[in-house]
């Protein structure tokens, strides 16, 4: 297996849209590829795949889906458009979107090993829906596997083996919004944050746009209209905006200035807009304060670090999504508990 072979596979994989919940195309593509090359292959109803070469004793696992996150300015459609990797020196990235290296690179490594003429016996388990709750793995029948050992390729560091256990829970919080009325108001918009994976980057203390809305407006006497934070529950919120009426503009501007000063190095692309708008459909003051309370008080970030392993986040949570539709607000957050050896 060579680096070139792995990167070639990764490039091919990236051409096939495979955001979580849309894995049929990549699963079918690999199913037919395996058949054409004479490998044993099984595809189940969740589009999980087992591809087998010889009589294996070791299985390698990777997941086919990826997180679909993009810049507001991007026109990319994760259901139909390919990811086009861009190479800059030793770095691969995507233009305006997530790259899908989690777990596309593990997928590419497994397929490259399968093709290696020096590897006679190998089994690949390729699952779906990992990013949204291990849905493929939860439906998979383990008796299908012939191997008695399994190595997962979804790690963070090349050449490092982990024996680990991690647990988590996703929480959906809904709030009834009640009646509205329309008035002149303000628009507060945060964009340009780095964001990142709620597991891999949570310890880097990057800005969370939803939490920052709560910080900037917390404690102010105001009424909220629209709120948009349509990211991913397992990604740190990069962009969010809110429409409101009331509050003290001087206090709000002072808090914005403090954030800009504090994060000028950590978040170099940060943009915070605070502008007047002619019309904003407003909720009641009580409901507005409940929403601000959620944004302000819901824990988000690192809660504790391991006492035995240096640098390991033991528990964390992430407020990733807040969406409003007629009559209802929904927040989504992800909480993680980790233990590794």
Tell me which of 23, 65, 102, 123 is the catalytic residue.
65
What distance separates the 2 farthest-apart alpha carbons in the chain?
Answer: 71
- Burial zone of 319 (CB within 10 Å; 0-12 exposed, 13-18 middle, 19+ buried): buried
Does 65 qualify as catalytic in the annotation?
yes
Say which residues have a Cβ less than 8 Å from residue 124's Cβ, sequence separation at least 6.
49, 50, 51, 52, 59, 60, 61, 62, 110, 111, 114
DSSP state of 117: T
Q: What is the enclosing helix (H) or strand (E) of 11?
A: helix 3-14
The count of other CB atoms within 10 Å of the CB of residue 121 is: 13
Q: Which helix (H) or strand (E) holds 109?
A: helix 101-115
Q: Say which residue the tokens 């190998």 belong to.
A: 122
Exposure letters 150-159 (e unless 16+ CB within 10 A, then b): eebbeeeeee
Please compute Rg for the chain using Cα positions.
23
Asked whether the CA dihedral 88, 91, 95, 96 is positive or negative, the reply is: negative
The residue annotated as part of the active site, out of 102, 130, 239, 331, is 130
- 184 among known catalytic residues: no
**Catalytic site positions:** 65, 130
């Amino acid at each position: 297996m060579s680096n070139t072979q792995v990167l070639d596979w990764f490039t091919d994989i990236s051409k096939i849209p495979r955001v979580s919940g849309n894995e049929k195309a990549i699963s079918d593509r690999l199913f037919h590829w395996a058949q054409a090359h004479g490998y044993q292959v099984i595809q189940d109803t969740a589009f999980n795949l087992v591809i087998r070469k010889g009589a294996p004793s070791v299985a390698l696992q990777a997941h086919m889906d990826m997180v679909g996150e993009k810049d507001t300015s991007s026109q990319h459609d994760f259901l139909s458009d390919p990811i086009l990797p861009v190479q800059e020196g030793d770095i691969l990235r995507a233009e305006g979107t997530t790259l899908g290296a989690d777990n596309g690179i593990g997928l590419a490594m497994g397929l490259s090993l399968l093709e290696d003429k020096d590897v006679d016996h190998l089994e690949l388990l390729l699952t779906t829906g990992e990013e949204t709750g291990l849905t493929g793995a939860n439906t998979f029948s383990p008796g299908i596997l012939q191997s008695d050992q399994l190595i997962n390729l979804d790690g963070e560091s090349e050449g490092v083996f982990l024996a680990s256990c991690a647990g988590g829970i996703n929480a959906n919080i809904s709030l009834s919004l009640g009646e509205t009325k329309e008035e002149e108001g303000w628009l507060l918009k945060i964009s340009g944050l780095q964001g990142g994976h709620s597991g891999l980057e949570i310890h880097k203390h990057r800005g969370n746009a939803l939490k920052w809305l709560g910080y900037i407006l917390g404690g102010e006497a105001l009424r909220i209209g629209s709120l948009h934070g349509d990211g991913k529950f397992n990604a740190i919120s990069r962009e969010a905006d809110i429409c409101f009426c009331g509050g003290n503009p001087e206090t709000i501007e002072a808090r914005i200035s403090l954030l800009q000063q504090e994060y000028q190095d950590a978040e170099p692309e940060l943009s915070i807009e605070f502008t007047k708008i002619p019309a904003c459909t407003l909720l009641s003051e009580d409901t507005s304060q409940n929403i601000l309370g959620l944004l302000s008080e819901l824990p988000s970030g690192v809660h504790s670090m391991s006492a035995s392993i240096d640098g390991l986040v033991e528990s964390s949570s992430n407020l990733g999504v807040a969406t409003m539709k007629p009559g209802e607000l929904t927040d989504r957050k992800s909480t993680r508990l980790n233990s590794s050896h």
